[in-house]
Structure 1
Amino acid sequence: MQVSELYTYPIKSLQGVPLAAANLTARGFPYDRRFMLLKVIHSDDKASEPLQNMHVPEFPEMSLFYTDLIYPSNDGTQPGRIIVTYRPPGGAQVRTLDVPLQPDTRGLEELAIMMHQSPTKGYNMGATYNDWFSECFGYRVVIAYLGPHSRRVLGSFAPEKSAAHRGQRKTGAGLAGRNDWISMRVVGGLAGVTLLLNFVAGVTAGEVSAMRMLPSLMATAIAVVLSMLIRYGGGGWTKDERITFADTAPYLLVSRTSVDDVSARLADDEKMDVTKFRPNLVVSGAETAFEEDFWAEVQIGRVARLLLTANCIRCQSLNVDYATGRMSTGETGTVLKKLMKDRRVDKGAKFSPVFGRYVFLEKESEGRPVRVGDEVVVSRRTEERMVYDWPGLTN
């Protein structure tokens, strides 16, 4: 198998950006879902008008907005930006807007944002950007920038809470894990010998000298213990997993074989658009459709390891017609219904079909590159599917 496509979504729920390569980080591809749109709900009190999070199922017109990334120059002289292109249906005028990739947040209004009971903060980008989006949508909209903030991971989606990964030491194969334990014992033994020798040396110099050394010895012991916990206590993933404006996890993986299975269900030679699944990684070459339901861990290019922790349940966003910004009235408007027939396979989401897997990064893979064409190997599987444990959450 291999990586066939990569995508990032700088502004949540707008069209994504295809990538040839990217560096993996614990919070997703660089710049992924660092912005989101919120609809202003009219109120007589203009100072406290509520904001509604915007998602494609409720606002299918978001699919008419396309994004592209201009990365900052290596020397820092040219800042990065997002080019947003609005392509309305019916041949209406195409409009574009440049949004700074890393805005200066000084002086921007701070917003409290709640996503699926996981709170965070963002910055109101201001009238220049809000007015442009509002004119395109035909109602008042705010664009928010995440900045340095983040959100906690929901339910049991993080690796340390996932049934597929609890108790698993993500330090490599069994020998590597054993070697880590041996190394920890060696470090602890050497630290103990060092402390003992220091204490004996202090005693030989006199009782008063030894007593004076006790605070130093205790500080040394504490430092050794803390360093051991930091080095060996992580188990291969970050205990405090945090995410951006992505709903559930830093990455979403889908199989091209499974996408082709959906296409085969459509009449009139219709093809399923893989981007409607909002993937970050598309893997091609799987032998059977939906075998990814049972993948627990995959290795990419022999340098990066990804932890698959939960199924992605699906909603009406699959039925959106990207040409009109509305729900499709044709064959592509039946995708969700077709999947309902045999893909309601998650006991935790009995009324929703499953397609794709949520993914977290094994911590030692931080910063490693992934490229289209990289080999993909399933390094561990589960006998049973994961169980979705956050009702009401959608992609």
Structure 2
Amino acid sequence: MLQVSELYIYPIKSLGGIAVQNAEVTRRGLQHDRRWMLVNEHGHFITQREFPQMALLKASIQSDGITVHHQSSGSLLIPFNCERKPLQQFAVWEDTCFGQYVSEEFDEWLSEALNMKCRLIYMPDDSEREVDQRYAKPGMITSFADAYPFLLIGQASLNDLNKRMPLPLPMNRFRPNIVFTGGEAYSEDLMNQITIAGITFYGAKLCARCVLTTIDQQTAIKAKEPLKTLASYRMKNNKIMFGQNLVHENTGVISVGDELQVLSTHAEDRFIVAKKTNHNSMKPTIIIEYCPKCNWMMRAAYMAQELLTTFTDDVNGVTLKPSEVSGRYTISVGEETLFDRKRDGHFPEIKELKQAVRDKVNPGKSLGHSDRHTL
């Protein structure tokens, strides 16, 4: 059975998301999702793509509005019912839509928190932005989202990606609205018509991913992953695809735990991403399990980096895993535990560890000069 496992809304476009147990499906998407947006002093919308520090602003839902939190600036409450002001035109990519400025006081707070000039705008109920009519029916609308009201991703798809990654990533890198469990990896690609809690959704378009996915949502630090790995097997028409955008027909409430039923599937070529052989699937993964209470995180991270650098071509990545067992520190290659601090009674030197890993993953090859130099 396919089952909704997570639901997210993003009240202010490109700021932190909010996990919810239940969500009202309105005409333009999940209630409160991307009804607010930040623009620069010229009225152009801004996102984490250019300003990754936006990830550090976290939102939460209150009974009377949205609270935005920042570790240095404190909190700001943005009420649901704001003072009505004249509508003005704003652009989201190629779309022109209408919104209103909210408050100069809020603008000052947000500008200070982000260390750049910005203004907050809101999309009132009488502002309707149509979804691209090439992929939706007339009258279907959305908010300040990039293009569509919903993004659907299967947990199996993230699990498959993480098996290919040097280090696993959380789902928040991909900013979905609906996550489901069950089924095969990337099964969402082919979902044409589905129902959740009596609400009908249609698969509109595979989601092309951008640099925003490379931003750590807790630290705002950019890296190369996951785009580097995704580009090796999820390319379609020179775009990296992960997840499917949805549109819908009716309204109601969906909840974590609801069944997702697939009524029909896509057959069009634009929904089919050619499968590539995963040459890493036969390579083992190095797993370093450490006790987070024993101040071993830095040592584990150092070892992970050394092993990943040395054995890039021989293993399918290195995974750091905090242990639930106090005092546990182990290093495994695949299913075999090479080192167990409690069993062996000591920490291995990095030279000893590298040779043990080499004997396991590529026994016919000795450590190179550069490997010895780093010991």
TM-score (structure 2 length as normaliser):
0.69
Separation of aligned partners in 1, 2:115 and 2:206: 35
Report the counterpart of residue 242 of structure 1 in structure 2: 141
How many angstroms apart in 2 are the aligned matches of 1:371 and 1:152? 26
* Cα contact 2:123–2:143 (8 A) shared by 1: yes
1:167-208, Cα deviation, whole Å (9 max, x unpaired)? xxxxxxxxxxxxxxxxxxxxxxxxxxxxxxxxxxxxxxxxxx
Corresponding position: 1:271 with 2:255: no
User: Partners in 2 of 1:387 and 1:265 — Cα distance?
Assistant: 22
Q: Distance in 2 between matches of 1:341 and 1:138?
A: 36
Q: Report the equivalent of 1:226.
A: none
| In structure 1, distance between residues paired with 2:270 and 2:70 | 38
5 Å-filtered alignment, 1:101-250, equals 101-105=80-84, 108=85, 110-148=87-125, 149-154=127-132, 156-158=134-136, 160=137, 239-250=138-149
Is 1:321 the counterpart of 2:216? The answer is yes
Q: Give the superposed CA RMSD.
A: 1.7
The residue aligned with 1:282 is 179
Q: Is the 8 A contact 2:35 2:122 kept in 1?
A: yes
Offset, 1:297: 1.2
Residues 294 and 385 in structure 1, CA contact (< 8 A), matched pair in contact too: no
Higher helix share: 1
| Number of residue pairs matched by the alignment | 270
Q: Which residues of structure 2 form unaligned runs of 5+? A: 273-375
Percent pairwise identity: 28
Matched to 2:66, the amino acid is I
Distance of 1:56 and 1:109 partners within structure 2: 28
Aligned to 1:296, the other structure's residue is in SS state strand
TM-score (norm 1): 0.65
Q: Superposition pairs for residues 39-78 of structure 1, below 5 Å?
A: 39-40=40-41, 50-71=42-63
The structural deviation recorded for 1:387 is: 6.1
The residue that corresponds to 1:369 in the other structure is 253
Q: How far has the Cα of 1:291 moved from its partner?
A: 1.8
**Contact map agreement 2:189 2:271 (CA 8 A) in 1:** no
Task: Please say which structure displays the higher CA radius of gyration.
Answer: 1
Deviation at 1:255, TM superposition (A): 0.6
**Which structure carries more relative contact order (alpha carbon 8 Å, separation 6+)?**
1
Corresponding residue SS for 1:248? coil
Residue 11 of structure 2 aligns with an amino acid whose one-letter code is P
Conserved 8 A contact 2:83-2:102: no
* Aligned amino acid, residue 27 of structure 1: R
Cα offset, 1:362, TM superposition: 2.4
Provide the residue aligned with 2:329 in structure 1: none
- CA distances 1:280-327 after superposition (whole Å, capped 9, x unpaired): 1001112x21121111011224x2221111111000011002233231
One-letter amino acid of the structure 1 residue matched with residue 257 of structure 2:
G
Structure 1 Cα separation of the partners of residues 269 and 60 of structure 2: 36
DSSP-derived class of the 1:312 partner: strand
Q: Report what 1:37 is aligned to.
A: 38
Task: Mark the CA change 1:387 to 1:119 in structure 2 (over 3 Å): closer, same or farther.
Answer: farther
For residues 49-107 of structure 1, the C-alpha deviation after alignment (integer angstroms, 9 at most, x for no partner) is x2221112111111001101113xxxxxxxx21000113xxxxx3511111122121xx
Q: Identify the match of residue 298 of structure 1 among 166, 181, 194.
A: 194
Match of 2:265 among 363, 381, 390: 381
Answer yes or no: is the 8 Å Cα contact 1:309–1:386 preserved in 2: no
SS of structure 1 residue aligned to 2:189: helix
**Distance of aligned partners of 1:121 and 1:136 in 2 relative to their CA distance in 1, 3 Å threshold:** same
| In structure 2, C-alpha distance between the alignment counterparts of 1:372 and 1:385, rounded to whole Å | 32
Q: Secondary structure at the match of 1:131?
A: helix
1:114-159 CA distances to partner (integer Å, 9 max, x unpaired)? 112211121112221000011111121100011131212125221x
Q: Relative to total residues, which structure has the larger strand share, 1 or 2?
A: 2
